[in-house]
Structure 1
């Protein structure tokens, strides 16, 4: 494997690390402990104790997050060289009860000028995938399968593991009061303890595995960070910093920025950053089904052809049995719902 591939993989690992960090902004919404104390940190130059209090109030307690718009962006690359950027965001609305949440999420990836855009829309009772300018409807049975796998038959949003940010945020200071999306917030800046963050991510991955949620990815999400990958990350990440903007009144996260230098061994230095922003909190959102849709089988067959042409899809993807193999794969996933080992074996149908 040449050094360029290794460098790309190192940057991808860091980007994944940063993406996982965004989850703690949402996981804080479901804690059982209630915090109602308000601490003012305005005026700039706040003490660490004040910042710790604000962080405690932000990442504990039940937060009222029923709807809004979120935006997540990740950037990584070498200094003066290749760059990769990922963006994800859109409106969302939790229905409550047994209803599946509504959302309209757009995603894009750009790697040095090349990339693609896609989308995912849920109207609670219908699910759509957007790709290359077309919308494809996902069969209702797949939505039911997702509910069974994530437990949304019994609740609107699955319980997310807690990344425990207090354990890896160090030396926090209150910068002052700023507005984010028209809302007054307290701005906190801090260092990041990378080893402690790795421990928290391991705990999250173990919990995802325990709940069986990693099975939905065909086993691609590990139950812990591999030791060699962890060592590479800890050596490569330099001077990571995190900034948190929390609502002055409700102590709900409105914005997070995480930045770090990246120095893979023997390679050119680079940087990586993540920005998460929540706006329009609990405001009404417009989320509608696409006007014109096509069967999801068309998209799956097209993607299978692309994988076959690139040599990534195995024997079935490049031949005339694409649609049949994909159909068998879909039925296999439905039959294996809730059984991680059986779902992983379904992938064999695509390489026969």
Structure 2
């Protein structure tokens, strides 16, 4: 009998890639999404890749009654992977209350509904932003978490504290928080990838949309950081590698292999690249020139973030396989495929 996993925010970028990996590992997938920053077309794209159409329910997880009804219908699920959240750093600085309301209500309602129906395994989509401005690099899970600069990051930090309290209060509930560094790339099929509404807040879709002529130019936010070329350094990880880690984490919970009721794992490559490194690599991989402009720093950004992934290797048996050029070429393939279908 196939085990059922509920994926909140499953029409989004990381959620959709994770749904594919779950299906390919013989799980039944139920996707919950309000489509506020995604599209229902993702469901047909997942079917095209896997031959399986996941169950889809459009639901606003901020609505506790609606959330409870969905979980009543799918109370035979064995676990939840929770992606549903607003995620743009800059926007969160401008609209903090929207971020706190959306990200906390959706989390709390999900936890309440699943525990009410005996679904006791939970994977949380967290972020390296919980480390704030790190006092040592690479960042290990032993790095102390700090108050992040952005409300977005703070929702992740507080959410982990909520999970810590909740798992301690329960004899049966177990959770893993996966702290992402910077996901980029797309599925090798070119059928799904990152597709934000409006002007992208993340670097790679901003690059590919600029190269495709959707944007006039790429804005590089700051070149006066204390880094090798003045631009921020990040640990970029291919979204397929990231998705595979979620499946491993689910299996760890189902097999009851976790050592604590709440575990934390960094997901990155351990290699830091600057914004200009990524731009230069894109130009090399695609044999094109990008129109970009250096502008002022963006609120909420920190100079450097890159991971130690030793714990994930040791406990999950997971490490990233794909390098920066793979991430860039798959992102560009997705962008070109997307634009060809629109023309």
Which has more helix, going by share of residues?
A: 2
**Larger % of strand: which?**
1
TM-score, normalisation: structure 1: 0.22
With structure 2 as the length reference, what TM-score do the two structures score?
0.22
